[in-house]
Chains A and B, each alone.
Chain A
Amino acid sequence: MIFRAVEDTDLIARVKRGDVQAFNLLVSRWEKRIYNYLFRLTANSEDALDLSQDVFLKAYQNIRKLDDPERFPAWLFRIAHNEAQSLFRKKRPEVDLNEDLGLHMEPSHTFSLDLSLAVTAALDRLSPDQKEAVVLKVYQGFKFEEMSEILSCPVSTVKSRVYTALDLLKTELSSPKQARKGSS
């Protein structure tokens, strides 16, 4: 992990000097994470893909403004967060975040379809802010400090969103009602 962080730093330095191939390599390392983050927010594969492309385009155009290469992950996800928010503002009158819009039905290959659907449903019951906080914390592994930078809000706010969301998810995923749904 440390070795890869060093390599990313080297790639970023090369990209700043105009090395497009270095940026391509950087994209190949981060595209899956960015895509999954955006997919979990938008619940739409096409939107997630379009947003991912926009995210990396903006990253390439603004990478010279990145002073500290160590902050690249948080910086990149901040761009992704802003792009998602822009999409939500554009689609607000039309989008029902709880509506199933081309939801990707393929579950993880190691767990049952029921559990995967239950998790998706439980996440969808969260508020957008809570859902995003859980995605960044649980799926992307960011620290609270990094999440504060990505979401442009205080650490205390980030903690509050995560803990509240976990309490709700705990109830949703461990309730007897959910257990009955899974067995049917």
Chain B
Amino acid sequence: MSTGANGCEYSEVLREYALGELSRSAGEEIESHLATCEACSDEWSTLQFTLAALRSDGDHEIPQRIAFVSDKVLAPSGFRRFFDAVWNSGPKLAFLSASILAGAIVFSSMHRAPIMLQPALVQTASVSRADLETAVRQAVVKVREEDAKNTKLLLAAVEKKYGEKQRALLLSVDENFQVMQKRLSSYTMLASSDASRSGGQ
């Protein structure tokens, strides 16, 4: 520290302490120094007196209050206040954006144009119940006729096949009978031949 006006190195620091510029710890160091340095102690007393004298001339009351009553010229408009309140607030801005989006979606859904369906590819004719029943009966008859026809053909086919089998069987039997007959005649001839041989001896 440099030497101050009173010849002591604490002189300038003393003034800073008197004017409230120093921390409490620094102030404690100054207090300790004041107890040992007469020059600083005298300067401290003079400083305190000067400051006390100055402060004796205290603040004066203001003769007329200054009031900023809501002056429309000065105050921002309601829109400006709303805009500032929303624009400067992130949550409010997000909420407002979401509200606008939700409102747009609701408005769009309520005023949606009706969907135009594609015309049917199949043209439907308008028929009466009687016609319908007649048509059904005719259709049933036709189906039955076809069924009968098919059945007859099937039976004929079965019969033909049966007949063929039967004929085949009869042929087979006949052939077997003929074979048996031939065998029997053979056996008979053999038997008569043997008998004649044995009788002639």
Instruction: Point out the residues of chain A lying under 8 angstroms from B85, CB to CB.
Output: 17-18
User: Which residues of the other chain, A, contact B47 by a CB distance below 8 angstroms?
Assistant: 166, 170
Contact A173 B50 (CB under 8 A): yes
Q: Are A17 and B49 in contact (CB under 8 A)?
A: no
Interface residues contributed by chain B, number (CB under 8 Å): 38
How far apart sit A107 and B153, CA to CA, in the bound complex (Å)? 142
Q: Report if A17-B74 is in contact (Cβ < 8 Å); known contacts: A36-B60, A139-B54.
A: no
Cβ contacts under 8 Å, A31 to chain B = 62, 65-66
Chain B positions within 8 Å of A23 at CB level: 68
Partner of B68, one of A24, A39, A123, A167: A24
Pairwise interchain contact A174-B49, C-beta atoms closer than 8 A: yes
Cβ–Cβ < 8 Å partners of A106 in chain B: 60
By size class, the interface of chain A is 35 or more
Q: Which of A27, A134, A163 contacts B54 (CB 8 A)?
A: A134
A97 interface residue per 8 A CB criterion: no
Contact B75 A119 (CB under 8 A): no
Q: Which residues of B contact A111 (CB under 8 A)?
A: 56-57
A71 within 8 Å of B by Cβ? no
Given A107-B57, A108-B56, A108-B57, decide whether A52 and B68 contact each other with a Cβ distance below 8 A.
Answer: no
In contact, A141 and B80 (Cβ under 8 angstroms): no
Contact indicator B76/A18 (Cβ below 8 Å): yes
CB distance from A134 to the nearest CB of B (A): 7
Alpha-carbon gap, A28 to B62, bound state (A): 11
Residues of B within 8 A of A115 (CB): 53, 56-57
* Partner pick for A27 among B21, B63, B66, B84, CB 8 A cutoff: B66
Q: Which residues of A contact B63 (CB under 8 A)?
A: 45, 49
User: CA A111 – CA B58 in complex, angstroms?
Assistant: 9
Chain A nearest CB, measured from B82 CB (Å): 9
Q: In A134-170, which residues have CB < 8 Å from any B CB?
A: 134, 137-139, 141, 143-144, 162-163, 166-167, 169-170
Q: Is A20 an interface residue (CB 8 A)?
A: yes
Contacts A119-B56, A138-B55 known; 12 new A-B pairs at CB < 8 A: A24-B68, A27-B66, A35-B62, A49-B66, A56-B68, A107-B57, A109-B58, A115-B57, A119-B54, A134-B54, A141-B20, A173-B50
B residues engaging A (CB < 8 A)? 5, 12, 15, 19-21, 46-47, 49-51, 53-71, 74-76, 80-81, 84-85, 88
Interface residue ranges, A against B (CB under 8 Å): 16-21, 23-24, 27-28, 31-33, 35-36, 39, 45, 49, 52-53, 56-57, 60-61, 104, 106-111, 115-116, 118-120, 123, 134, 137-139, 141, 143-144, 162-163, 166-167, 169-170, 173-174
A-B interface, 10 closest residue pairs, ranked by CB to CB distance from nearest: A18-B81, A108-B58, A111-B56, A18-B76, A119-B57, A35-B62, A36-B59, A20-B70, A170-B50, A31-B66
